[in-house]
Amino acid sequence: MTSTTPTASTGENAPVDPTTTDAWAALGRVKEGFRPDLRAWFADDPGRAQRYTFQAADLTVDLSKNLLTDEILQALLQLAQDVDVAGRYRAMISGEHINVTEDRAVLHTALRRPESGDVEPAKPFEVDGQDIDRDVHGVLHKVADFANAVRSGSWTGVTGKRVATVVNIGIGGSDLGPVMVYEALKPYVQEGLEVRFVSNIDPSDVYEKTHDLDPETTLFIVASKTFGTLETLTNARLARQWLWEGLAKAGAIEDTDESRRGAVSKHFVAVSTALDKVQAFGIDPDNAFGFWDWVGGRYSVDSAIGTSVAIAVGPDRFAEFLAGFHAIDEHMRTAPLEQNVPVLMGLLNVWYTNFLDAQTHAVLPYTQYLHRFPAYLQQLTMESNGKSVRWDGSPVVTDTGEVFWGEPGTNGQHAFYQLIHQGTRLIPADFITVANPPHPLKDQVGDGGAVQPGTDVHALFLANFFAQTKALAFGKTADEVRAEGTAEKVVTARVFSGNRPTTSIIAPALTPSVVGQLIALYEHIVFTEGTVWGIDSFDQWGVELGKKLAQEITPAVTGDADALEQQDPSTKSLIRRYLELRE
C-alpha cells in the first residue's frame, strides 16, 4: 500500500476531516440522484466482474455486485489518500502510539510476524524498549510446548490421567476469538480432545459446560490479562470449587489446603501477566502465558489467548493460522490502494454508511464451521468503531460504525433474507464460502427431481450461495414475474428490485491459514474505516461505565437497603421486583 500524500496526523494531533476533502465532495455529488442499475452496468461492461475481482492471499474477492462505478471507486481511492490510510497503517505496524486515549502502541500484527526471514519493520523490532519479536516468539514457544504436553498425554491431572477436555474461561476477546476459531477448525481437532468455553457470569453457563465432565481429565484455562475481570474470575472460582468437590468425591484428593492447591496446579493454567494474582489463585506462575498491553482483547486470538486452539489443533496448525494472518498483513502493507482488498472493502463500507444511509452490514458464511464468525465480528467491528469522538477528543464529523450481524447460509435464507431482498433498508452483505468442504458428502438417493442420485451436497449448497448474490444484484422485474403466469394482483409482491449490494469471498478450503486470513481481512477493514472517520479504533471506553455501575449496584441486589435507596426510581423498582420474585 503506497501513499502519495503526507502522513496523516497521529498521536494527539487532529485527524483529517474527511468531509472537507475534494473526494468527499465528489462522492456527495454522485449520491445526488444516484440510481444504481447493476443489470445495465454488467450489460454495458462485460469485463466488470473481472475488473472488480481481486486476490488477497488465498481469498478471491468479487466486488462487482457492489453499488460501485469507476467514478465512485476513484473518489474512494482519493479519499483513502486524503486521510492517508497507508501512512497510518505504517505508523501502526511501526509501533507508534496510535491508541492515544491509552497512550499505547497497537501491534496485533506483530503477533504473527515470522520468526525467521525478512519482515517489515526490520528486525530487531523494538518498541518502547521491548524486543517485540523475541518476546512474542518466546511466548509462542512456551504455548507450543504446553500444547504438545497436553496432546501427548505427558501433562496429566492430579490422578495421572491425561486431559480429555479443556475448558477456556474468558469473556469478550478472551472468548469470542478462541471459540470461533475452535469451531471453524473442528476438523483439525485431535481425536479424544474437546474444548469448551465459559464466558457468561450467568451460573447456567459454567454449570452446563462442567456438569457432565470428569474432573480428573479436565483442564481449565483462565484467560484474563489483569486476572481481575469480574466474570472470568467468578467463573474461575466456580470451576475451582467444582474441581475440588469432584476430586474429593472421587477420593482423588484429601480435604486439606495442600491437596487442593496441588489439584489446582495440575488442572488450571492462566493466560495473564498478573503473576501475583495467578499465584494467589493457586496456579503455578510457570504455567501462565503472557501477552502485552499493545494487544487489544478483540485482536488477541493469535496471542496466548489462543492457547486452547493451539492445544486442540496442535502447534503446527496454529503456526499455519498465524501465517494466514501475516499473509493478509503483507497484502495490506504492499498492495496498491486500487488492488488492496481490505482498503477497498473498508472504503465501500464508508460509501454505504456515510452516503447511502446503510445502518447495518450482514456477514453470511456459507460454511457451517464459520457459524461463530458473525458473533466474533460484532466485537471486532462495533467495539472498535462504535465511537462518537475522534482520536483528538473532538466530536466525529460523520456517522461511524455499522451494526454487524449474520448467520450461516442456508439457515439465514429461511429467517431474515426476506428483509434483505425486499425490505426498505439497504443492507450490504458479505457472502463467504470455500470450494472444498472437509466432509464432501453425496446424496445417494436424491429426490427424484432437481437433486439427482449421487448429487454432491456441497455443490447443492454452493448453488444457493451463487443464487442469492445473483438475486440480490439483479432481482426480478414485474414483466418477468408476469411472464411466469403470475396473477396480476400479486405481481408487485413478487417483484425483486435488485441492486442490493454484496461482496463474495471464496477460498479453496477452510484451513487454519484461511481462517487467519479472514480474521486479518476484517481487522484491516475496521482499520480503514476508523482512519477515514478519524477515530481511535483500539480503545473501548464504552464498556467501562456499565461494569462500574454493576459493581456499585451489586450491594443493592444482594440485600443492602441503603444501597437500594441510592438508585434511580426505575432501577430501584426493578431491583425490588427481582427481590420479590427471587426464591
Catalytic residues: 383, 414, 547
3-state helix, strand, coil in the chain (%, to 5): 50, 10, 35
481/491 Cα distance (integer angstroms): 6
**Measured CA distances, 261 to 150, 274, 279 (Å):** 20, 19, 10
Residues 6+ apart with CB under 8 A from 560: none
In terms of Cα–Cα distance, which of 383, 534, 538, 539 is closest to 10? 534
Q: Which amino acid is at 306?
A: G
| Burial bucket for residue 450 (CB in 10 Å: 0-12, 13-18, 19+) | exposed
In terms of Cα–Cα distance, which of 373, 369, 435, 501 is closest to 34? 501
Per DSSP bridges, beta strands 502-509 and 429-436 are parallel
| Burial bucket for residue 547 (CB in 10 Å: 0-12, 13-18, 19+) | exposed
Q: Which H helix or E strand runs over 62? A: strand 59-62
495/105 Cα distance (integer angstroms): 52
User: DSSP string covering 365-409, please?
Assistant: EESGGGTTHHHHHHIIIIIHH--SB-TTSSBPSS----EEE---T
Length of the chain: 583
316/323 Cα distance (integer angstroms): 11
359: cell is: 445502518
8 Å CB contact between 273 and 228: no
